[in-house]
Structure formats: C-alpha cells, structure tokens
Structure 1
Amino acid sequence: MAALQLDGWQHVYSGKVRDLYVPDGAADLADADRVLVVASDRVSAFDHVLEPGIPGKGELLTTLSLWWFDQLEGVPNHLVPDHALDASSLIPAAVAGRAMLCKTLDMYPIECVVRGYLTGSGWLEYVASQTVCGIPLPAGLQNGDRLPEPIYTPAWKAPMGEHDENISFERTVELVGADVAAALRDASLEIFRRASVIAETAGVILADTKFEFGADRATGLLTLGDEVLTSDSSRYWDAARWLAGTTPAERMASFDKQIVRDWLAAHWDQTGTPPELPTEIVQQTAARYRELLGLLTAA
C-alpha cells in the first residue's frame, strides 16, 4: 500500500482507502493550509483492505463527492475556493480525477452517522432490544423499513488501528462541548434530509450515511470535510426495487460494496488474511458504483 510520490507534495497519511498529502515544506497536516485528498482504488470490508482493488473506484467516488458538494449549496465544505480552476493546475497528473484540493480543518473526532432506514447492524440491535445505538424505536419494524424520522447515531473516530465506537449524544458533548455537539447533529440531519430528497428524484433511496466535520482554521465555522455521500460512506438502494421487493435482499438492492461484504462473509471466517476477491465480484462492484453515479448525476 505504498503511497505515490507526487511532485510538490509529501505524503503524510494513508487510511484504508485514501491518502493525504501536504505541500512540500509543510511539516504535517497541522502545519499545512492545504491538503490533497487522494481516493485510491482500494476496497475495505470488516476492517481489512482487500485484494484486488476496484478499478476506477477512486475516480468514481471523487466525482460523486464533488457533485454532492455542488448540490449542497450553502453548506460550507473543505474544497479550496474555485476548486475546479485551482485543481486543474495544482493537482498532479498522476492523481487527476481522483483527488480533491482542500483546506485543512481542525477535524472533530466524531463520525456523524444518520440512519433513515433500519438495516445492517441497526437491524441486529433492533431485533435484540428494539433500539438502534440505544435509541428506542417503535415495535413491529422489519429489516429495510423506513424509520419514522432519521436518527443521529454518532461514533467516536478511533486512532488508526483501533475500531470506531458507537457513542451517545451525551458522550459527544463530553468530547467536543455542548454547542459543537448540537451543531454536528443538526447539520448532519439537515444535510441528510436535503440529500435524501435529491436522491429520491433519481429513483434512489439514501438509507444511511456518515459525515465528518471540522472547524475552519480562520473562522471557526463548522465545515463539511472528507468524502461526502459516496458509495463508501453511504448505503444507497434502488427505490423501485425497495417498493416492489418482498424479501430483504430484493428490497435492499445496494449501490455500494455490499456485494463485497456478502461474498466475504460467505467465504471467510474473519480470521487470518482475507481471501482474494474473484474477478466477477470486482466487476459487479465497479458496475454498481458506476450505475449510482449515472443515476444521480443524470437526474
């Protein structure tokens, strides 16, 4: 997973699927006023980076993030001003199409998760306790059902190598203060509401997503950062199939890496090194990513 060498930039961090670079001369992210956020073709599941990657994934997800930032007019984000103009001259050719030129933010250690539908780990908890992340829900809901209202279920962003941890809203207050905690919650719910309406016009359901925010270093303004509303950070379903489906698999036809998760769950016991993904799983995943981008941007 060695990072590329880019003229004018130095690599400072690699996550499971993204690499960060700061301008030459900056010591680290704290010392830099800009950061190059590069999306790789790596794919992860169950906290492991898998082999092989998904060809074109980095460019598809970056294109989708940039499109969503454009749709969310009035929501401050981390792109440098005039991103389209600056990016063409400042983003190295080696990562063109899969990199965002961004302002550095003082990031909050909170993953701001919003759930509009009951699924995944939320469904498992609901079956056991009729709650999701400790939030009580009405009886009688089924896997894949729409929630009465979207719910905010934050997580603590653990240091690299550790697992993120679902936390209560009260815990976010302890971590970032009451005002910031409320601002994170309110912004997340409002962006989710707006994005859900946009997705629905394209025949797509936004089931859940996660946002990350930071404070603008010059103004302190709450600012949307990281990727936004991509197939890696969100769960999207086909609205027509959700309405017509009679089983969870039919209702929750996903536009994300669920294909990868399902295959891995069936072929690996989560001990040792994960098996290599078959060619057909890689191709199917790439096709679903492309289909989502086409549906959303054509609407």
Structure 2
Amino acid sequence: MTDLTSPLHLPGWAHTYSGKVRDLYVPADGLDSVLLVVASNRVSAFDHVLEPPIPGKGALLTALSNWWFAQLDRPNHLIVPADGIPVVPESVADRAMLTRRLEMYPIECVVRGALTGSGYAEYASTGAVCGIELPAGLSDGDLLDTPIYTPAYKAPLGEHDENITFERSVELVGADVAAALRDASLDIFTRARDLAAARGVVLADTKFEFGLDPRSGELVLADEVLTSDSSRYWDAAAYEDESLPRAERLASFDKQIVRNWLAANWDRTGEPPVLPEEVVAQTLARYQELFDRLTGTGA
C-alpha cells in the first residue's frame, strides 16, 4: 500500500509531517514562520490509504481551495512568495499551498445545512446532533431551516475525531475562541451555500479548520476549504427530483464512489483491495465536475 514515510525530496524544503492525503514541509534553512502544504493524489477511506492514487486529485482540490479563499472575505493562511522563502518546486506547484505557520486549534468546525451522514444517525437515535435538539420527523437528506454548528475534537494521529458539544469546545479553547470559531464557520458556510446554490449545487455540510497567527493575533482560516474532501455537495436538480431514489438524489461530488465500491468488495479486515481503473476514473470525474460547476470553468 502507499508508503507515507517516503515523502518527495523538494529542494529548499524539509519534510516534517505526512497525513493520509497531505504532506507538510518547512524551509530547510530553519525559517519557522512558513509552511508548504502539498496535497497528494492519495485517496483514503475507512481509515486506510488506498491504491492506486487518483491522478490529478491533489491539483484539483488545491485549485478549488484557492478559488474559495478568493471568494471569502476572511483572513486565510495563504502567503505570496517573497525574498527569504524557498521557491515552490515546479514538480508540486499545482498542488501546493505556501502558507503562514499557525497555532492550530484542536477543533474541527463542522457546519451542517442538511441532516445526513453521522448527523442523521445521531438524530435518529437521540433527536439531537451534538447536543442541538432538532424538530421531530426529519428524514435523511432534509435541509435544515438554519445551519447548525457541530464541532468535533481533533484527536491525535491514529485516533478517531470525537463529536462534541459547543460547551465542550469552550472547555477546550475558552469561551471567546469557541464563539469566534462558531461564528466564523456559520458565516463562511452561509456565503458558500448561497454561492453554490447559484451554480446549481447544494452544499449540505462542510468542516473548517482555523489557527491563531501568533504574530498578528488573527483568527485564520487554514487547511483545505470547501473541497470535495472536506464538504458534502449534491446536484441541486437531482436533489429536488423526488421521483429519483434517495441514493441518486444524495449522490455527492466526492469519493463516495470509492466508499461504495469498498463496502461491496471488502469486509474491512486486512489490507483493502486495489481500486479498479473505472472507480478511479469515475471518482476523478466527480471531482472535476464539481470544480467546473462551482468555478464556471467547465465547457
């Protein structure tokens, strides 16, 4: 399977960390205020990194994040090249973000505009999501009148993130920061949802990550934002067509094709099987379609 311990050699940069789908580098000369975030083509599901990678995935998600950063009137982690910062190598330029180094908050800021996925499962069991009571009688996929903020605690590497209440987030980061994270997340989601709707796409839910810039004291939007990997998008026309099966109405522009194939072909014991070429191609096509529709660059 994919080896996360063998990062690329990038002149001027020293590898510092690899997650399932991203690699982090710092300037080799010791400059501590800058990071290079490189999105790989790796694809993960059910806590495994799969083979083969999705060619072009890293570049598409990076381009979509950059596009969203440009739409949002909010401080983000991107910086422009400058003297004293190593050049971003051409080999990763289309899938790398040059960013300021932040003190990241241990909160995954989840906003739900629709009731589905783990949120629906919790609602079906308790009538609430992360401590937020919701009206009775809601179905999987129903849009919420008002988006809800349902944070999660970012667990250490190798452990599962934990859904938490807002009150628990206050205990973790303090009342002022918890409120700022919630308010910023809801504001960004609302703007993004409206923009996506104008392009025939439903933004069902998403997650944001924020950090503190120790130099400016700003709350800064970081990591990927509103991509297919961090968000659930549905085709608006299909969603509104109640004659379609639920699975078609709620088909997302992400790696759900991969999850579905794995669920049908793997019992989650041992190493997962290699993805067929057609699954790889179909997944890339879904990523590309969302990018084209949101940005208006499609044919």
Residue 227 of structure 1 pairs with residue 198 of structure 2: no
One-letter code aligned to 1:253: A
2-structure distance, mates of 1:214, 1:223: 5
One-letter code aligned to 2:255: K
Give the TM-score normalised by structure 1.
0.94
Aligned to 2:44: 44
Residue 5 of structure 1 pairs with residue 3 of structure 2: no
2-structure distance, mates of 1:132, 1:276: 35
1-structure distance, mates of 2:119, 2:174: 26
Residue 98 of structure 1 pairs with residue 95 of structure 2: yes
CA RMSD of aligned residues (A): 1.6
CA deviations 1:72-108 (Å, max 9, x no partner) are 02x000001x46x89x982101101000000000100
Residue 213 of structure 1 pairs with residue 217 of structure 2: no
2-structure distance, mates of 1:258, 1:14: 23
Q: Equivalent residues in 2 for 1:232-251 (5 A)?
A: 232-246=229-243, 247-251=245-249
Residue 152 of structure 1 pairs with residue 149 of structure 2: yes
Secondary structure, counterpart of 2:94 in structure 1: coil
2-structure distance, mates of 1:35, 1:222: 17
2-structure distance, mates of 1:275, 1:126: 33
2-structure distance, mates of 1:135, 1:272: 38
Secondary structure, counterpart of 1:97 in structure 2: helix
Secondary structure, counterpart of 1:36 in structure 2: strand
Q: Which runs of 5+ in 2 are unaligned?
A: none
CA deviations 1:13-49 (Å, max 9, x no partner) are 00000000000122xxxx7110000000001111111
2-structure distance, mates of 1:90, 1:228: 24
| Match among 268, 272, 275 for residue 273 of structure 2 | 275
Give the TM-score normalised by structure 2.
0.94
Aligned to 1:16: 20
Aligned to 2:189: 192
Please say which of residues 38-47 and 271-280 is displaced more in the overlay: 271-280
2-structure distance, mates of 1:135, 1:264: 33
2-structure distance, mates of 1:181, 1:199: 27
CA deviations 1:177-212 (Å, max 9, x no partner) are 100000000000000000001111110111000000
Secondary structure, counterpart of 1:96 in structure 2: helix
8 Å CA contact 2:149, 2:182 repeated in 1: yes
One-letter code aligned to 1:8: G
One-letter code aligned to 2:15: H
Task: Give the CA deviation at 1:245.
Answer: 3.5
2-structure distance, mates of 1:37, 1:57: 15
1-structure distance, mates of 2:46, 2:129: 20
Task: Give the CA deviation at 1:258.
Answer: 1.0
Secondary structure, counterpart of 2:59 in structure 1: helix
Identity %: 67
Please say which of residues 239-248 and 88-97 is displaced more in the overlay: 88-97
Secondary structure, counterpart of 1:170 in structure 2: helix
2-structure distance, mates of 1:279, 1:235: 24
Aligned to 1:55: 55
| Match among 99, 105, 110 for residue 108 of structure 1 | 105
